[in-house]
Amino acid sequence: MVVKITYFVHGTTIDNEKKLSTGQAQGELSELGVKQSEELLSQVEDKSFDVVFCSDLKRAVDSAQISFGGEFEIIQDKRLRECNYGNLNKADEKEVVYSEHISSPFPNGESLKDVEKRIAELIKILKENYDGKHVAIVAHKATQLALDVLTKGQTWEQAIENDWRKTGSWKPGWEYVLD
């Protein structure tokens, strides 16, 4: 049983440009984010997807619709939401310190382990229903790091340390295999 995943982060948001951590607030794509989403499909035209899943938060839905709408079935799934930063949703990004909230929830929010549980549930569903399929996912930082933890044997500390966002090494999709 093998499910191939290509993971995409949503386009740049107005909050990203203001250095704010949106968390579970809806967020709005910036002009750059719309352009990134418009260009994404052509950057991955060599890939064939069976289905596209996305977070149900507006910034991910909009990215998925712009990039893949009309080409693929898009399924919104709340398990793909960004980590709930609680009191720190929409806070300055310097205040949202992942390494301090691996097991300990953000004030009035959730922990990264909570996100990991959500993604583990989704992985189970994908394995049961999409065997042999190629699934695209459009979502957020914490959910991508949870995939690194669950599929690549990394600890949360390693996933946080190796996060591509630290070096600005974005690419049009990251590959994961569920077996």
**Mean pLDDT across 149-160:** 97
Report the predicted TM-score, pTM, of the whole model to 2 decimal places: 0.95
**Mean pLDDT across 65-87:** 95
Q: Which domains does the chain have, with CATH numbers?
A: 3-178 (3.40.50.1240)
**3-state SS, one letter per residue, for the chain:** CCEEEEEEECCCEHHHHCCEECCCCCCCECHHHHHHHHHHHHHCCCCCCCEEEECCCHHHHHHHHHHHCCCCCEEECHHHCCCCCHHHCCEEHHHCCHHHCCCCCCCCCCCHHHHHHHHHHHHHHHHHHCCCCEEEEEECHHHHHHHHHHHHCCCHHHHHHCCHHHCCCCCCCEEEEEC
Tell me: the pLDDT tens digits for 21-53? 999 999 999 999 999 999 998 898 888 899 999
pLDDT at 12 over 80: yes
**Mean pLDDT across 132-150:** 97
pLDDT at 1 over 80: no
Comparison of pLDDT for 45 and 114, the residue scoring more: 114
pLDDT at 112 over 90: yes
